[in-house]
Amino acid sequence: MTEFVDLLIQTQRVRLGAAEPESLELPPEGAWQGFREAAAYHGLRLGTLVAFSQSDVLSRVPLGVRSDLEEECRRHSTFQLAQAVELGHLAGHLDRSGITALAFKGPVLTQQLFGDVVSRESADLDLLVPNGSVFAALEVLGKEGYKWAEMGPRPNQAADLLSDHAFTLQSDDGRFLVDLHWHVAEDVALDFVPELSSLFEGSETVDLLGHPVVTVSRERQLPLLGFHAVKHAWYLLKWFVDIAALAKLPEFDWDAAFRFIDSSQSKGVARVSHLGLLVADRLFDSPLPPEVRRRIERDRRATALVPVVIDDIRTSREYNMSEQHRILLGLNAGAWSRLKTAVARVLERASRRVRAPG
């Protein structure tokens, strides 16, 4: 799959404005199926069509392939639109019930990064509520037809709030999945994520198809995106496309982002943020301010891990957590064991889902 990943990287460079559309080399005849499978695997079917639609690239795609790609993307765009509508609906019900909830990842992130809800693929909806509001939120979602999706912890025991970080619910018709979080990550991975209260303090409201939805501010998204890639052991290209798109936003406040990162008591927050930016920069020539580039390049461990992560992406090594990764992340045996436990839990849940994570 390596050659197709390299082609995908080039398409996303065009999409992000790091390369001219005319420079894009298309797959040779007979290789389109493999390329489309790679795009699906990396969650970049919609992103690929966006890149092809720039300039005259789409006209160079064989007609049959173009028709199949457009039809496939129409289906996925329809699902992304439906998810966005559903999220607005659920967020409104929670708000009217007096429950503070933050939407993150999914449609709100797509809106923040690309200005629409259909340019990026996501498989589910994520809502974050304070620990004390979990069971009230479950009641609201239950009234909207959501029930336990038979993966992860059952949402019926207070003890689960201590041992896990989210309940997975499914709509009555099976169309939508909702992860109801009371932490961003399992307790074993809290070394890598900001404190929960800080995310609520730095929220912003996004207009999602006419519905106001509260989410994490762009500046506080950076460590969350970095951690999301680490949590899944870096194997999908789409996570670094997200980081590159975030870095490209003209209104992104770098000073505010790093003040937030530096204020965190979690030691790994800065490292996963640096690593995400370094990989995105290497792949997509992110337009980083000079002071930001100097800062992240001073993180020698993150810098040394960049070629390892890129090799994992190019060779599609899923959930590869080797001793080399531990050393370069700068983790002791205890922290490494906790992170691997978190990754194992993610893998167990992801194996039960039809759609790709994130």
Q: Which tens digits make up the pLDDT trace of 155-191?
A: 766 556 666 788 899 999 999 999 999 988 766 566 7
Taking only the tens of pLDDT, the chain with its 358 residues reads 688 999 999 999 999 999 998 888 899 888 999 999 999 999 999 999 999 988 788 888 999 999 999 999 999 999 999 999 999 999 999 999 999 999 999 999 999 999 999 999 999 999 999 988 999 999 999 999 999 887 666 776 655 666 678 889 999 999 999 999 998 876 656 677 888 888 998 899 999 999 999 999 999 999 999 988 887 778 889 999 999 999 999 999 999 999 999 998 777 899 999 999 999 999 999 989 999 999 999 999 899 889 988 988 888 766 566 665 666 667 667 777 777 776 666 656 655 554 444 5
The answer to whether 246 touches 253, Cβ cutoff 8 Å, is no
- Composition of the chain by helix, strand, coil, percent to 5: 60, 10, 30
Separation between Cα atoms, residue 34 and residue 39, nearest integer Å: 9
Q: Please give the pLDDT value at position 205.
A: 96
The pLDDT tens digits for 198-212 are 899 889 999 999 999
Segments making up each domain of the chain, as ranges: 1-61, 85-216, 218-358
Global confidence as pTM: 0.89
As a whole number, the mean pLDDT across the chain is: 87
Q: Please give the pLDDT value at position 197.
A: 86
DSSP E strand boundaries for the chain: 102-104, 125-128, 147-148, 166-170, 177-181, 203-208, 211-216
Q: Within a 13 Å sphere around the CA of 91, how many CA atoms are in the beta-carbon half?
A: 27
* Residue 301 tokens, joined: 């461990």
Strands 211-216, 203-208: parallel, antiparallel or unpaired by DSSP? antiparallel
Q: In whole angstroms, how large is the CA radius of gyration of the chain?
A: 20
The answer to whether 21 touches 14, Cβ cutoff 8 Å, is yes
Residues 6+ away with beta carbon under 8 Å from 131: 161, 182, 196
Separation between Cα atoms, residue 121 and residue 356, nearest integer Å: 9
Considering the four listed CATH numbers 1.10.1740.10, 1.10.1240.10, 3.30.460.40, 3.40.50.1950, the one that applies to the domain covering 85-216 is 3.30.460.40
Q: Please give the pLDDT value at position 357.
A: 46
- Closest by CA to 178, choosing from 106, 284, 79, 92, is 106
* Residue 274 tokens, joined: 């640096």
For the chain, the straight-line distance linking the first and the last C-alpha, in angstroms and rounded, comes to 21
Strands 177-181, 125-128: parallel, antiparallel or unpaired by DSSP? parallel
Separation between Cα atoms, residue 276 and residue 302, nearest integer Å: 9
